[in-house]
Amino acid sequence: MVGALVLSFLLTVAPAAAEKADRSKPIHLEADRVTVDDAKQVSVFEGNVVLTQGTLVIKGSRMELRQDREGFKSGTTWGNLAYFRQKREGYDEYIEGWAERIEYDGRADKVQMFNRASMKRGQDEVRGNYISYDAASEFFQVIGGKPSSPDESGRVRAVIQPKAKETPPPQPPVSLKPAESVAPPRQPAAAGAK
C-alpha cells in the first residue's frame, strides 16, 4: 500500500546527522495526484507535492518512491526547484537543499542533487551543478557544470563562515594545603637575647 511504502522510505531517508526523533513522527503527504503500482513497488505523487515528518520537509512538483526486492528504498523528487529541509541531530540548525532533481539511495545511504543544486547548513552554503552527500561517511562532493544562464559561471561557489572560538571551561580553584616537608617558621628572637 501507499502508506507502507512511503513510511518505510521515510524511515531510511534521513541522513545520519538528521533529527532522529523525526523517524517516530507521523507522515503528512499532500499531492494533486497519486499513482501506485504495488506489483513494481513504485508510488508516484504529482502536483505540489509536500511531505512532512517532524522537522523533515520535502517539496517538489513530482516525487517517485521505489522499494527493491531486498527492502532498500530509493526516491526521486523533481521541481523548479525541489526542496528539502531537516533539523540536524544535536544541533539547533537545519540542513536545506534545492535542486531540479534530488535522489536518495537507501542501499548506499547517499543523497544526490542535480542541476542548480545548493545546500545550506546554518550560515554555510555551497552551490554547484551537482552535489553528492554520503550520510555514512559524511562526505560531500560538489561539481560545477555548464552554466544554465549567462549570469552563471558554472563554477562551484561556497560561503563558509568562520567558526567561533570556544572558550575553555573555567578551571576549578586550586586548593591550598600545607607542605609536609617544610620546617615551621623561625620564632623572632626575644629582645636583648644574643
Question: What superfamily in CATH does domain 2-159 come from?
Answer: Lipopolysaccharide (LPS) transport protein A like domain (2.60.450.10)
Positive or negative CA dihedral for 66, 68, 74, 76?
Answer: negative
Is the CB of residue 88 less than 8 Å from the CB of residue 80? no
> What's the mean pLDDT when you consider all of the chain?
78
Stated pTM of the model: 0.68
pLDDT tens-digit series, residues 24-61? 777 788 999 999 898 888 989 999 999 888 888 889 99
* In the block, residue with C-alpha cell 499513482: 35
* In the block, residue with C-alpha cell 544541533: 91
Work out the number of other CB atoms within 10 angstroms of the CB of residue 115. 17
Would you state the cell numbers that stand for residue 51, as one nine-digit string? 511531505
pLDDT tens-digit series, residues 22-32? 667 777 889 99
- The whole-number average pLDDT for the span 102-108 is 81
Q: How many residues does the chain have?
A: 194
Report the C-alpha gap between 69 and 28 in whole angstroms: 26
pLDDT score at 114: 95
Domains of the chain, by residue range, sit at 2-159
